Copies of this chain bind each other. A is one copy, B any other.
Amino acid sequence: MKSPLLDKIAVPTLLLDADRCRANIQEMSDKAARSGTFFRPHFKTHQSLAIGQWFKEVGVTAITVSSLQMAEYFASEWDDVTVAFPVNILEIDRINSLAKKIKLNILVEHAESLSFLNEHLTASVGYFIKIDVGYGRTGLPPQAHQRMEELLTFASAGNLRFKGFLAHAGHTYSCRSEAAILAIHSQSCATMIVLKENYLSRFPELVISLGDTPSCSVAEDFAGIDEIRPGNFVFYDLTQARIGSNTTDQIAVAMACPVVARHPERNELVVYGGGVHLSKDRIDGEPEGTVFGRIVRSTEKGWGGLIEGMYLRSLSQEHGIVKGPSAEIEQYQIGDIVLVLSVHSCMAANAMKQYLTLEGQWIKRL
């Protein structure tokens, strides 16, 4: 049984199951509402104005992106955007041009960046201080009070407005259980709530923003957190499934890859679909070793569950090598389509630049 849509596919194509995607959006939106936190979803995964509309339908009014280029793209339909990436002062012209049009928030961790902005900004910009809650990528340690005070000297300087403290607990990506994610989440919340208690009297409008998809997917308790910024949940992927953020049934995108060679003698297929389509993101230490994607069963309307033991064992620039049980491999002929769940949907979506819905509609993105 296969979808008639597959008959129209000739090259690697990223399929989007809009029902799953909308259900993921609804679920996260409901959780934010239940938790009393403001939902400012990260749009770096889908990067699509059309998919953005589905967020508007559940009441979303403000978004997060990870580059000024994305902010520019979304500025035509969104007037409240946080760029959750350490501010790149070299893009001051872009910042000024955006700040004239929309409510723009940026992320800072260095006084020299604020000092530069204070001199060069021509319109109002909100800034969040990035806090490192343990990931060790960017941000100030929560106990760096002196550096924080330096950053706060710009709290209402010129066109700058201090908005609050923002963290990304990216270390949840190394978790392999719900309990481990929740432990990190509790610690992140505790850290941020201490900051809130310390600074709320001076800055009564202070916003505490948290945002990794694993924590937001698994946790229910967001007490004291004003805003959440998950992004990947819109599609989810195998990485998130392994962490425990989602089931594979929630994954909303699959790469359709034509079979171009068959090697039943080694239980392998070669598909048109490589690193330029799926990215080279991988999961190490799976039962099969390193995995670059997993294969799902084609259904009349789209795709169903994982085919056990069938996966992408390697990727070249344009080739993918699918390995699987012989009974499964033998069912695929030259010109058939293999459906692949990606390891990292943000990167696969970025590589493909567009989506084909199961209803046969193309959805554009940045």
Which A residues contact B (CB, under 8 angstroms)? 9-11, 44, 66-67, 69, 85-91, 93-94, 109-110, 112-113, 116, 136-138, 170, 258, 260-262, 266, 270, 272, 275-276, 279-282, 314, 316-319, 321, 333-335, 346-347, 350-351
Q: Does B112 lie within 8 Å of A317, measured CB to CB?
A: no
Report whether over half of chain A's contact residues are helix, strand or loop; otherwise say mixed.
mixed
Q: Does B137 lie within 8 Å of A89, measured CB to CB?
A: no
Taken together as a complex, chains A and B put the C-alpha atoms of A351 and B11 apart, in Å, by 18
Q: Does B88 lie within 8 Å of A137, measured CB to CB?
A: no
Known: A66-B318, A89-B334, A138-B261. 19 other contacts (CB 8 A): A10-B94, A11-B69, A11-B88, A44-B317, A85-B318, A85-B319, A86-B260, A88-B272, A88-B335, A109-B261, A138-B260, A138-B270, A170-B316, A275-B347, A276-B347, A280-B280, A280-B281, A280-B282, A317-B350
Interface centre among A10, A86, A89, A94 (most CB of B within 10 A): A86
Q: Give every chain B residue within 8 A of A109 (Cβ-Cβ).
A: 261
Q: Which residue of B lies closest to A351 (CB)?
A: B351
Taken together as a complex, chains A and B put the C-alpha atoms of A279 and B94 apart, in Å, by 25
Taken together as a complex, chains A and B put the C-alpha atoms of A89 and B336 apart, in Å, by 10
**Contact sample, A vs B, 13 pairs, CB 8 Å cutoff:** A10-B91, A44-B318, A86-B260, A90-B258, A110-B262, A112-B333, A113-B334, A137-B270, A138-B319, A275-B347, A276-B350, A279-B280, A317-B346
